[in-house]
Structure 1
């Protein structure tokens, strides 16, 4: 064992211990919920069912409802409590219930931040009743939302050139494979691999404390996934607030950029990533590209609405967050986004149209070579040969609308159609989805195998006669397209999706797929029934979708990134000449 390895392990263990201790001091009740949510899905579901097995309004039952991501039910149980103990009061904040004076300053401060009341947060920062570490954390979080760049890290000046004909790019990412599997990390891996294959030298640095912060303690300082190096920033003592974390990240980005002799820095959603990359780019005089893949402020507001907040989109936190995202996109040398709907939104918010390029979700070209019928694919998986199968490979979160798919299958089976379903994936809504499948008596015909390695997930995709993307109607789902749509098309499977602008860019009704009103299981059932009854139509829609997907291979899209880096270099040089 080399001397570096025990030191790295000690540092990671120290970082994990400090992080857990801080969470235990700040909010021990919520720490237990988060720990339960990280348990394997079946254990998580079992814990939730045991905790909520009776109609009791006890704190344990409230904890179970939050574990199962059911804030509405948690609030209902809380409303029936005659007296609330310390655990119930702590959990009530996360269930969407404003704390009373008995909750103390810490509970009021956590509540104010959770609901986005920045005015109240700032007022409470001077309250001695708020624990010191929580005050420091909230102060750093608020500071990061204030307009303007973060300080540039102190590093030696750049002593290498920035020849754009041979780009060397350092990417700032929130998380990555192999420890997090999501649409974000899959796109990151695909983009970086494609850039490598196109002759662009790449390296990436993930956010401070990741992956220690998600429980992956004894990991390496660099993970190499299919040739792509993901560097880690794991300080032993993590700054409590976002501002301090960004500054640490910027310093590490600058060091990695020097080691990589980078020609460009490339950040990817959301504003902390952009701030760190902006600061490092300023320190080294490098062009900076920012990629907007999502709108996490809208995702946050959607979640808060589910938690009971009446107007999260009008909150100070949402307004400041949204302004921060627009400010940073406008400040980058060039911006990449993933759909025309998102490009239009960015331009509306002040980004120059000529400085925004669309690089849509793509596919591995190998998907186009997959040639297996659903029947043969099901036989290989040991699935029943009977019936027609619909489903998705998806994150199992509330806005994906997967409960509507379960309802649609139940409706069709009640009409005598032998339709079966499968959803491959995991997420906070998995226990509730499983409960719904069981309540409708579909456990034998609607399968939930959970999260699977990619080759196995693709085998399940092959087994479907049609892929369904029944997303709910939220502001974020109207703008952000998921990766799974174009992947389903590339694999030769027809797609039925919710009629939302981001999905309608890809799914052209009657040509590359079908669209149905979101939140309407009956309409979804009708569309599924019509497509599954007409095999010729199914094959025609699948073929047209595959043609669309063939124009979106990651290899082709890598050339767009090369053009983006050329434009960013010219933009950066112009700004430096102007003295900005």
Structure 2
């Protein structure tokens, strides 16, 4: 499926002509634009949080006023540097009584700050936002940042609030298909807006050799090896264990795999990975390096970037980031991968949970000659710049806001 394709009949906002969307935004936001409230559980880290902060900054730039309610986190500082305002509220709670109290607090905030639209980015706070929007009669927008799978009736009911928006945004066509099939959201309300990455920040030309050398020193890496990078928090479904097994099958002493990501309190899983490395005799060839504060340099250090997820990725932000940096990618054939990766052109797609196929793909990427590597890198950069930029995501989201506010 191409990145532009959505479910049949859906009008995805990211395929509207840019000038039409921008004109709609100018009419709505120019000259003292509306106050928009986004609600998200926390501002710690992650794709949903990054999108929230980026959209808040875009609202401010367009002439509107951005408010964000969350339980707090380090990204609140970045949010406020853009001119947006952060309000702390326990919207990370799933307690039914707290959800109702939060709804009353949000309704009061909407009236006090003259909020014209509310946008929920997670299920628990979405219930509070839904009730507050009904009480104050303002438009309600939701974003499905994941398929939110369910096994029973009650879980589906809990998830269903995300389908109650006047507009429902899906971060990939994979997610849009899930929403349409399971929650009956039609093309009148469903909008496809892919996640976007900052192609100015994620640009090879801005990464100096000294930044790469600092990572090598900080991580105490050998200087005569080639590196494979798997970015992502340490959690089982991200497939770190699959990459470790693939490294054993690869059998090369000149290649080091780097697992870059915070364990977020999963110390037992980190120890399990380290024990697996020892059991397979891969000490020195697989390194758990933890959180990385300079991801552009980490991408440039790598010969290839791997996403070995064993469950579907709703979008796969690190794979878009890696392609923006001109790195070949190797990804599991799950979720939105057919939208984000051009198999055989910008990277290789392998069966999930298959160390043999992953090892073969790593070997194939390592065997690319300089000309082939350059072609793959340029194709990946062009693919991301055409479909998955932060600017495009922000424009399309503000166009959805303008669409609703223009009807009021």
Whether these two folds match at TM > 0.5 is yes
Of residues 167, 178, 187, the one that matches 2:34 is 167
* Matched position secondary structure for 1:449: strand
CA distance in 2, matches of 1:492, 1:277: 40
Q: Structure 1 length normalisation: TM-score? A: 0.59
Q: Is 1:468 equivalent to 2:306 in the alignment?
A: yes
Q: Residues 364 and 372 from structure 1, CA distance in 2 versus in 1: closer, same or farther, beyond 3 angstroms?
A: closer
Q: Structure 2 length normalisation: TM-score? A: 0.82
Cα displacement (A) at 1:287? 0.8
Q: Residues 375 and 525 from structure 1, CA distance in 2 versus in 1: closer, same or farther, beyond 3 angstroms?
A: farther
Q: Is 1:554 equivalent to 2:390 in the alignment?
A: yes
Given that 1:496 and 1:513 are in contact with CA atoms closer than 8 Å, whether structure 2 keeps it comes out as yes
Q: Residues 450 and 340 from structure 1, CA distance in 2 versus in 1: closer, same or farther, beyond 3 angstroms?
A: same
* Matched position secondary structure for 1:353: coil
Q: Residue 87 of structure 2 aligns with which residue? A: 231
Q: Residue 13 of structure 2 aligns with which residue? A: none
CA distance in 2, matches of 1:369, 1:321: 41
Matches within 5 A, 1:57-456: 164-165=28-29, 166-176=33-43, 180-206=44-70, 210-211=71-72, 224-227=79-82, 228-234=84-90, 242-270=95-123, 272-298=124-150, 313=151, 318-326=152-160, 328-349=161-182, 350-371=184-205, 378-381=212-215, 382=217, 383-412=221-250, 414=251, 416=252, 418-427=254-263, 428=266, 429-453=269-293, 456=294
Given that 1:164 and 1:263 are in contact with CA atoms closer than 8 Å, whether structure 2 keeps it comes out as no
CA distance in 1, matches of 2:282, 2:79: 41
CA distance in 2, matches of 1:273, 1:489: 33
Given that 1:361 and 1:486 are in contact with CA atoms closer than 8 Å, whether structure 2 keeps it comes out as no
CA distance in 2, matches of 1:465, 1:354: 44
Given that 1:198 and 1:558 are in contact with CA atoms closer than 8 Å, whether structure 2 keeps it comes out as no
* Matched position secondary structure for 2:283: coil
CA distance in 2, matches of 1:221, 1:343: 29
Q: Residue 19 of structure 2 aligns with which residue? A: none
Given that 2:54 and 2:394 are in contact with CA atoms closer than 8 Å, whether structure 1 keeps it comes out as no
Of residues 353, 360, 363, the one that matches 1:529 is 363
Q: Residues 508 and 194 from structure 1, CA distance in 2 versus in 1: closer, same or farther, beyond 3 angstroms?
A: same
Given that 2:57 and 2:79 are in contact with CA atoms closer than 8 Å, whether structure 1 keeps it comes out as no
Cα displacement (A) at 1:224? 4.8
Q: Residues 390 and 554 from structure 1, CA distance in 2 versus in 1: closer, same or farther, beyond 3 angstroms?
A: same
Q: Residue 60 of structure 1 aligns with which residue? A: none
Given that 1:368 and 1:546 are in contact with CA atoms closer than 8 Å, whether structure 2 keeps it comes out as no
Q: Residues 359 and 441 from structure 1, CA distance in 2 versus in 1: closer, same or farther, beyond 3 angstroms?
A: same
* Matched position secondary structure for 1:509: coil
Cα displacement (A) at 1:438? 2.6
Q: Residue 17 of structure 2 aligns with which residue? A: none
Cα displacement (A) at 1:468? 0.1
Larger RCO: 1 or 2 (CA < 8 Å, sep 6+): 2
1:35-92 per-residue CA deviation (whole Å, 9 max, x = no partner) reads: xxxxxxxxxxxxxxxxxxxxxxxxxxxxxxxxxxxxxxxxxxxxxxxxxxxxxxxxxx
Cα displacement (A) at 1:378? 4.3
Q: Residue 4 of structure 2 aligns with which residue? A: none
CA distance in 1, matches of 2:257, 2:406: 51
Q: Residue 544 of structure 1 aligns with which residue? A: 379
* Matched position secondary structure for 1:354: coil
* Matched position secondary structure for 2:346: coil
Given that 1:422 and 1:446 are in contact with CA atoms closer than 8 Å, whether structure 2 keeps it comes out as yes
CA distance in 2, matches of 1:543, 1:376: 23
Given that 2:147 and 2:179 are in contact with CA atoms closer than 8 Å, whether structure 1 keeps it comes out as no
What value does the CA root-mean-square deviation take over the aligned residues? Answer: 2.8
* Matched position secondary structure for 1:422: strand
**Structure 1: gaps (5+ residues):** 1-162, 299-312, 574-580
Q: Computing the radius of gyration over CA atoms, which structure comes out larger, 1 or 2?
A: 1
Q: Which has the higher helix share?
A: 1
CA distance in 2, matches of 1:224, 1:355: 28
CA distance in 2, matches of 1:189, 1:462: 25
Cα displacement (A) at 1:570? 5.4
Given that 1:249 and 1:276 are in contact with CA atoms closer than 8 Å, whether structure 2 keeps it comes out as yes
Q: Residues 342 and 431 from structure 1, CA distance in 2 versus in 1: closer, same or farther, beyond 3 angstroms?
A: same
How many residues align? The count is 367
